A and B are shown apart, each in its own frame.
Chain A
């Protein structure tokens, strides 16, 4: 089955700096890669996703890059703000298998003033 590794497990940045979270996956058949943000005690919420036919996707301060050859994808947050503090999860899915997601273990991002 799919295995997703995520690094780092914790990340502390100053407000206004950039943050980068990296994930690797094992199954070359995976073709959908979402990122979820989870605030303390809340449900995971999708913030951005990318499909295998695209190398990069951007939404305001958030961007995701995908390298299919190396089987890794990354989340980039620019101009970080205190409200970006949360746990971020990457995931991978082969859309041919009921879109089952395999999640990474999460990155706790702390944005300090």
Chain B
């Protein structure tokens, strides 16, 4: 099993550009999450989803959007990139009854 797969691994954006960070999992997990990790800091929850068609905001949702049309995929959209969105983004998933979250390898994003 591949687990949680994120693409791209690295990306440089100009201010005002938009992009979608892709996340897919093959473990048939119900729950999926997006976190951002700023240098030297812990992870902060951006958005999460408890199943296809259901999403909700986390701690730091401003500037981001998500959708969940399938169990497997949970893309994160940045509409108008700002330097404050420079960070490492991690996608994670878990099975509803187990709580354990499995993380993807991350996407390192720089906005210049």
Interface residues, chain A, with chain B CB atoms under 8 Å away:
1, 6, 32, 34, 42-46, 49, 89, 93, 95, 98-106
Contacting residues, chain A, for B59 (C-beta < 8 A): 1, 102
B43 and A89 within 8 A (CB): yes
Contacting residues, chain A, for B103 (C-beta < 8 A): 43-45
A99 and B42 within 8 A (CB): no
Contacting residues, chain B, for A104 (C-beta < 8 A): 42
B43 and A46 within 8 A (CB): no
For residues 93 through 112 of chain B, which have their beta carbon under 8 Å from a beta carbon of chain A?
94, 96, 99-106
B100 and A34 within 8 A (CB): yes
Other-chain residue from A6, A95, A100 in contact with B33 (beta carbon distance below 8 A): A100
A32-B99, A99-B96 known; 18 other A-B pairs, CB under 8 Å? A34-B99, A34-B100, A43-B90, A43-B106, A46-B101, A49-B99, A49-B100, A95-B99, A98-B48, A99-B31, A99-B99, A100-B48, A100-B58, A101-B101, A102-B59, A103-B43, A104-B42, A105-B41
Q: Is the C-beta of B44 less than 8 angstroms from some C-beta in chain A?
A: yes
Rounded to whole Å, the gap between the CB of B51 and the closest CB of chain A is 10
For residues 27 through 68 of chain B, which have their beta carbon under 8 Å from a beta carbon of chain A?
31, 33, 40-45, 48, 50, 56, 58-59
Rounded to whole Å, the gap between the CB of B103 and the closest CB of chain A is 4
Contacting residues, chain B, for A100 (C-beta < 8 A): 33, 45, 48, 58
- Contacts A1-B59, A100-B58 known; A46 to B100 CB distance under 8 Å? yes
- Contacts A45-B103, A100-B58 known; A105 to B31 CB distance under 8 Å? no
Rounded to whole Å, the gap between the CB of B110 and the closest CB of chain A is 15
B99 and A93 within 8 A (CB): yes
Closest residue of chain A to B56 (Cβ to Cβ) is: A98
Rounded to whole Å, the gap between the CB of A22 and the closest CB of chain B is 15
CA distance in complex: A32, B101 (Å)? 12
